[in-house]
Amino acid sequence: MSEEWPSLAVVVPIYNEEAGVERGIAAILDAASRYRGRCVVIAVDDGSADRSGAILDGLSGIEVVHHASNAGYGRALRTGADRAAELGLEYVAFIDSDLTNPPEDLLKIGALAAEGHPYIKASRFVPGGSMAAVPASRRWVSRAGNVVGQALFATQLRDVTNGFRAVRTDLFRSWPLHERDFAVIVEELDTALAAGVVPVEFPSVLTARSVQQRPTAFSYSPRLVLRYLRYPLRAARRRLDPRRP
C-alpha cells in the first residue's frame, strides 16, 4: 500500500457565517496541511447575505465557489463535489465551518480512504465518539432518531444522521440526490445502502457552536423530521417488497 493517501477535497458549505468563518477555515486548512496526500479545501458560499463571501475571497490556500442565491445545503454539497471532480480529487469530505466537527478527524478519513473504503462516516455513537457538549434535548432526539433510523435501514451503522463524512467523488456524483436541506444526508445514505455500498464509521466528537456564532440553522422542525424519516421508511418498504424502487 502506498504511504500517500488518496487525494481529498474538503467541501465546506457556508451560509451567513461571517462571525466564525475565518477561524473555521484556518483550522480546516491546518488539518489539511497534515493530510498525507493532496488535499484541497473548497468553500461553497451558498448565497450568504452577510460578509461571508467577501471574507472567503480574502483568504489564501482555498478554492471558493459562490452561489448567486441561497440554494440549500444539499446543492452546496453537489457544487463542491463537482469542483472536486474538476480538480481530479478522488474523495470528497463534507465538514461544517463552525468547528463542531473536529477538523483533525480528516486524518482519520485519509487513513480509511487509503484502506479502500468508498463511504466513510463520522459517528457519535461508537466507542470514542461523543456529543456530550451538545444540549441534552438535542442529544436525546439524535439518539432516538438514530435508533429508529438504524432499525429501519437495517444497517450496522450507528450514526445514520451525521453530516461529517467522506465519499469517493465519482460515487457521490453518480447518486441522483434531490434534497436541498439537511435531509440530503439520509437520502444519500439510503441511495448508498440500496446500491450495496458498505459504509465504515470512525469515532468523532460533536461539540456545540460558540456564543459568538449565529444559532445553528439545523432545527428539529416537523417538516425536517418527516423528510429525514422518509428515507429509512423507503428502505424498510424496499426490503418488504423488493419490486419497489
Q: In the prediction, which pLDDT does 77 show?
A: 98
Instruction: Give me the percent of the chain exceeding a pLDDT of 70.
Output: 93
Q: Is the pLDDT of residue 222 over 80?
A: no
Q: Is 12 inside a domain boundary? A: yes
Q: Print the domain residue range for 208.
A: 8-240
Q: Is the pLDDT of residue 213 over 70?
A: no
Q: Is the pLDDT of residue 214 over 60?
A: no
Number of neighbours of residue 215 by Cβ within 10 angstroms:
8
pLDDT tens readout for residues 143-162 = 988 999 999 999 999 999 99
pLDDT tens readout for residues 156-199 = 999 999 999 999 999 999 999 999 999 999 999 999 999 999 99
| 92: nearest Cα among 170, 36, 181, 3 | 170
pLDDT tens readout for residues 111-148 = 999 999 999 999 999 999 999 998 888 888 889 889 99
Q: Is 2 inside a domain boundary? A: no
Q: Is 3 inside a domain boundary? A: no
Q: Is 202 inside a domain boundary? A: yes
Q: Is 32 inside a domain boundary? A: yes
User: Are 33 and 105 in contact, with CB atoms under 8 Å apart?
Assistant: no
Mean pLDDT of the chain: 92
Q: What's the pTM value of the predicted model, to 2 decimals?
A: 0.92
Q: Is the pLDDT of residue 241 over 80?
A: no
Q: Is 100 inside a domain boundary? A: yes
Q: Is 153 inside a domain boundary? A: yes
Least confident of 66-80, 138-152, 198-212, 214-228: 214-228
Task: Give me the number of domains the chain comprises.
Answer: 1
| 184: nearest Cα among 73, 101, 23 | 73
Q: Is 49 inside a domain boundary? A: yes
Cell matching residue 170: 465519482
Q: In the prediction, which pLDDT does 96 show?
A: 96
Q: Is the pLDDT of residue 243 over 70?
A: no
Q: In the prediction, which pLDDT does 211 show?
A: 45
Give the CATH number for residue 74. Answer: 3.90.550.10
Give the gyration radius of the chain's Cα atoms. Answer: 17
Q: In the prediction, which pLDDT does 1 show?
A: 42
